[in-house]
Amino acid sequence: MKGAIIGDIIGSTFKNIDLGDTDFQLFKPDSAYTDDTILTIATADSILNKKDYEQTLKEWVRAFPRAGYRPKFLEWALSDQSTPYISKGEGAARRISPIGFAAQSVEEALSEAEKSTRVTHNIPERIKAAKAVAATIYMCKHAGTKKEIKTFIGQAFDYDFSLKVEDWKQRKITPDSETSPVEPAFAAFMEASDYEEAIRLAIVIGGPSNTIASIAGALAEAYFKHIPKSITKRALSRITPEMQEILSVFEDKYLKFSEQEA
């Protein structure tokens, strides 16, 4: 889960920037969490405390209303209206990682991902994306190989794993394009040999770098089971004590990976 949050924080200062290559400074003075982190924490809180996904999401948005949400989403989250919010964005896929880590089976990962996604993204393509991410995290956590993941996710969700990071980089993903950040995030994860490389590859793709890095970071944490302590320390010093508490309790319960100095 913290892999997603770290990816969001690092990626926050590189949105829609063409870096050229992966040789860049990971952290800048203004590196900060965005709405991706808030919604990920909300999902974890819901799982830990057996709370309704919608209720918990709205609680966290109301506590942190200036994290960069889309205006219409913020209006919905701050209101008491019971009608669902239907978004065409990737908010569900980027907040879904706690479900993949907490699930006891791939079937549970898929069903809970769909349940969470329907709250805000009740659209087949968005449900598919969230389920693909949650299922992959479950498989990674339980020692699934990249070959097994490509086979299962490719067949179940019709994802094309032939496209590489460089291919996605050339496509110039923009806020107005219809390209989902989920498949580019998969490409970064598949090409990486460790967590840091996954983040660097995700960000160099360009476009919504914090979202791509958040998704790739979650996959990489589950698969490599190691994030350098130096990266973790610098990133998580940027979140609040309330967020740190949820993150700590969640990871103690659902995953406990050893950390070493980079």
Task: For the chain, give the number of residues.
Answer: 262
**Which CATH number belongs to the domain containing residue 18 in this structure?**
1.10.4080.10
pLDDT tens-digit profile, the chain (262 residues): 999 999 999 999 998 888 889 999 999 999 999 999 999 999 999 999 999 999 999 999 999 999 998 888 899 899 887 777 777 666 678 899 999 999 999 999 999 999 999 988 788 888 999 999 999 999 999 989 999 999 999 999 988 889 999 999 988 776 555 667 899 999 999 999 999 999 999 999 998 899 999 999 999 999 999 999 999 999 999 999 999 999 999 999 998 643 433 3
The runs of H, that is alpha helices, within 85-145 are: 91-95, 97-102, 106-118, 124-141
Per-residue confidence (pLDDT) for residue 258, from 0 to 100? 39
Instruction: Quote the CA–CA distance of 99 and 90 in Å, as a whole number.
Output: 16
Per-residue confidence (pLDDT) for residue 260, from 0 to 100? 39
Domain encompassing residue 57:
2-254
Largest CA distance in the chain: 48
262: in domain: no
The reply to whether 18 sits in an annotated binding site is: no
The reply to whether 176 sits in an annotated binding site is: no
Task: Tell me the two tokens of residue 88.
Answer: 């065409």
Instruction: Quote the CA–CA distance of 232 and 49 in Å, as a whole number.
Output: 25
119: in domain: yes
The number of CA neighbours under 13 Å toward the Cβ of 176 is 0
Per-residue confidence (pLDDT) for residue 122, from 0 to 100? 80
Per-residue confidence (pLDDT) for residue 160, from 0 to 100? 84
pTM across the whole model: 0.93
Please state the domain count of the chain: 1
Rg (CA), the chain: 17
27: in domain: yes
Rounded to 10 deg, the angle between the 53-63 and 71-78 helix axes is 110
Which residues have CB under 8 Å from 241's CB, separation 6+? none
The reply to whether 30 sits in an annotated binding site is: no
The reply to whether 174 sits in an annotated binding site is: no
259: in domain: no
61: in domain: yes
Instruction: Quote the CA–CA distance of 251 and 254 in Å, as a whole number.
Output: 5
